[in-house]
Structure 1
Amino acid sequence: MKQACLTAMSVLFLLMVAGCLGSSDSTAIKQSERTMMDASRDKVNLSVAMYVTVLSVQDVYYDIVAEFEKKYPNIEVKMRFPGFEYEKFMSSRMEDHQLPDIFDTHGWSKIRYGQIVVDLSSEAWVHRLTETIRDTVMDTSGKVYAMPISEARDGITYNKGVLKKYGIAVPTTYDELIAAAEKLKADSNGEVVPFFFAATDDWSVGQFFDYFANALLMESGKAIDWSKWTQISEMFQQLIDRKLINDDVMTAKYSDIIRLFAEGKVAFAFAAPSFADEVFKYKNGTTIGIMPIPPLVAGNPPSFSGGERNTMAVWKDSPHIKEAKMLLSFFARSENLEKIEEVTKLPSGLKGTIPKHEFKADYEKYANGGILPYYDRTYLPYGMWDVICKNGVEQLAGRIVPEQFSIIMQTSAEQLMDK
């Protein structure tokens, strides 16, 4: 009986202990759930859209964001790269009033996006703005429209190995550039294409016109002189008629240039050298250079096209302005900007970085030359870039002639200005 009583008491004690433990565990679980719910409520999702088309550059952005998320685990960043559809993407978002928290102003921080971005003038990195970008992203009142990640420093990317093989010096005038192209075509028996364009990526065509519009502006001193546009179109027609461009221009993709540069089959590209790392991966030992846009009259200085390449602006109606500014400040760190410089081969828009990429010497060589803003961004209404690119392709296809191109440009500009 005594044993039975002890057993019953033991069972009762164990049940009581189990009940206490169960109550404690239940409380802990509820507390944990409340903590998770609070954390969920505190979780911030930042949306970011950038006009970055090169995969190796996108990867660096992803890496920097991952480090940011480690430092701030309550913030999740969703990066989006719409590629060459970026402007359509932003137009759609603007119409729906559903913009990303942070977005790339791609050359239009003031004119297109000026009314919908946060003033960043009080941010710690503002004093580091370079002299070459300050006026582009800041107005006379001191408002800062965007943080410049990369500055455009665009000229003609050339294949050093090809020029060396055929004994050609880097051209310093447009006439020398055409002479070099003719020599390359003749001496290589057509194996080397002097100039590469891709109609499917029509920006590569538009770039030619935008480059030399600036070169002619230096001659005329006029913002819009449509007779000069006819001259640029005639220069482009010369490349077509002399067969100094790739035969597959209407079907080629711009990404083809990676293989062609690596194989020594293309000499010049009217673009920045941001594709260089992809070429080096394809064939180690390939040598590439960057030269400024040659003047159209001997004796005039060469120049690069400058301004915004990639920026980060904050949408004024974002519910997460504080966190967006935190991400900008993180990207503004010199070590992060240097990572981007390394892959884009372009200078940062903020001082304090030490470039180490292969094109540093080329940029230093031409440091005393001019840096002119992109012509369409400065002198033409928004929307004209699309007109330039599409009609450049029309000329390639033989559907318009230079005089028609100029008329289309003038008419389109007047219509867009009226809007």
Structure 2
Amino acid sequence: MDHGTHAHSLAAAVRAGRVRAVDVVADALERIARTDRSLCAFREVWEEDALRRAAEVDARVAAGERLPLAGVPFAVKGRHGLRSAGPLVAAGCVAVGATAVPGPGTPWQTWGLGRYGRTVNPWRADRTPGGSSAGAAVAVAAGVVPLATGGDGAGSVRIPAAWCGVLGLKTTNGRLPSADRTGLAAPGVLVRCATDARAWWTAVTVGAAGTTGMAGVAGTGVAGEGAAVKPRPLRAVWSPDLGFADVDPEPVAVAHAAALRLADSGAVRIEQDLPGPRDRRAARDRRAPRGRRPAPEGAPLRLEDPADAWLALRTASGDDPLALALARRIRAVNDRRLDALFRRTDLLLTPTTPCAAHGHNGPGERYSTALTWSFNLSGHPALSIPAGFGSDGCPLGLQVVAPRGGERALLDFAELLHSDA
């Protein structure tokens, strides 16, 4: 039974009566049973509940209800991920299980721990899939489910998407409900095609209507939902390192080549090729003073390293006013520079990660979040798309950032690149 591996294709088949949701979900459960001892992508699998819910979807379809994601099996991030999945369930999705997330003693959230052990990268079992949405990315990349939810507090959707070769979308902070009190985390999704990302976005925004608004997230440039999407080519700026990060040559080369292919296709016009930092030693010194003057209008983007700000906000207890003052200053400087950037361009392109997927012993002192967590601090939506492969045979990603509220622009852009097979 082959109705396509994409969520929208499966839903169309269920709506048309060509296949039952029960059969689609049973196929997904069989794939989990067959692969999960080696991949360790799941913490829990909900066989009985999933089949029962699939039967309910079949009944709803038979009663004439048109469900946009009818019968689509999906995975939720972590054991509590189902709590926020109401809009997907209402759209006809069926949750089959909770994916692996980091366990105790896994610094920087780059490992996953499933019910059978350590979560592995489906391209190379000796490499990490990234995290913290580790199992979600693996389940999607391996074709176990077409869609998995994630949460992104520093790159936790985009990093595993890059290292597993799938699309990973982080939404504008504050646009969808989030349990994170710091305001740094935003919901996201991992899928294999842009059409499925759009289907997820439509479902969750319809479900969230009336519970969250656009206050405080209206952007400039291509802006938010309801705004007319600009015609091709979109203006884009490329930055290999955001002006501060210590980035390995290969992720830069692979992502830059992908950006140039986009320019050759007419999808974007790269208006400026931004230089990297001149002083790599300062980039490596996470605690060095960062008192650079604000970049003038039209100058290359040079963000301040968000490490101190992110850590201060994550651990803020109100008893360290100096740390919180530093966090506010870094956030204000970076917000000002990003606002200036998006007044003159539509998209910002970077590598998703500063390094390739590392082994299970860890990255050492390297922060895999170096190029992603700036946009948790600023709140901008960002998408990681597959850029190509490194010399180790593992995927690498291209990060695409839009103005706040610009998810529609990101999805339109992604659909130009990833037409459905």
Fold in common (TM above 0.5): no
The structure showing larger relative contact order (alpha-carbon pairs under 8 Å, at least 6 residues apart) is 1
Higher Cα Rg, which structure: 1
- The interval holding the TM-score normalised by the smaller chain is under 0.3
Normalising by structure 2, we get a TM-score of 0.27
Question: Which structure: greater helix fraction?
Answer: 1
